[in-house]
Amino acid sequence: MVSFYKSMEKNMISITITSKNESLHLPRLLKSLKLQTFKDFETIVVDNASTDGTKDIARKFGARVFDKGPERSAQRNYGVQVSRGQYILVLDADMTLAPGVLADCIGVVTNDPKVGALIIPEKSFGIGFWTKYKVFEREFYVGDKTIEAPRFFKKTTFKKFNGYDTGITGPEDYDLPLRMRKAGVKIGRIKSYIYHDEGRFSPFKSAKKKYYYASHSGTFLKRHPEQVLSLGNLILRPIFFKKWKKMISHPGLTLGMLIVKIFEGTGAFLGAINSGIIVTAKHDKNT
């Protein structure tokens, strides 16, 4: 196994990108990295058996390319293992960065050594009828630490918690920061944005994904039982009530968003039943 500390360089950011057949998205992300005002970084693409030229594109942009699977947690952890930087930024291939993201991250962690991880706010965009409702939903989450998950880490902090749990698929983004927060790690945030391409969003496909994630959430819920209500990203999160003025100001978008959430919540509920999570929870409550 490659050491987390191998050739670690002070203040370098190692950007780890997971990919699988991302030839359409990856160039846009890599171009946004070239435009960063902070230049001391390396790009690592950890690919899962792409067949569309993704790896060739990554190499043309100067990225270090590796093969790893089967899920993104294993890919991310491997990217950290082969990284050389003191800091880690974990990205998905369908994202792009505002030019000041890296500079803002370095500014926060160097000014406050107690910060072990950083939240980078995200904005969504995409095409198609249903996508506008998902974009509207994501607008509610900016600034809500119960929903936003950090993507930037001190490597020493990441290593201390053994990175992402490869036994968790779906909520692994939340498991790691929850473990960190419970241990007292300070998690900060920056103001610059990551932009997430939702593509042509489909509530049916999203419900199917929630079903899959909920079916594999047993380990996550055993570790964080207080998160059981967030399993399907909740049909009505508390943040919606806090920002009720935004909801009533856009009734059409609110209605569409609720329809999407019902689809997703139903998929998660059925996945939980299929996995036995709900049955187990009831049994534990009655014993």
pLDDT at 249 over 60: yes
pLDDT at 234: 56
Q: Residue 148 gets which letter from DSSP?
A: -
Question: Tens of pLDDT along 198-221?
Answer: 999 999 999 998 898 888 787 888
0.85 exceeded by the pTM? yes
Q: Any idea of the CA torsion for 97, 100, 104, 106, to the nearest 10 degrees?
A: 80
pLDDT at 268: 85
What percent of the chain shows pLDDT beyond 90? 70
Question: Tens of pLDDT along 81-92?
Answer: 999 999 999 999
* CB 101, CB 15: distance < 8 Å: no
The alpha carbons of the chain give a radius of gyration, in whole angstroms, of 19
What is the set of domains in the chain, with CATH numbers?
1-200 (3.90.550.10), 202-287 (no CATH)
pLDDT at 274 over 90: no
d(CA 29, CA 13): 16
Q: Where does the pLDDT of residue 8 fall: very low under 50, low under 70, confident under 90, or very high at 90 and above?
A: low
pLDDT at 7: 53
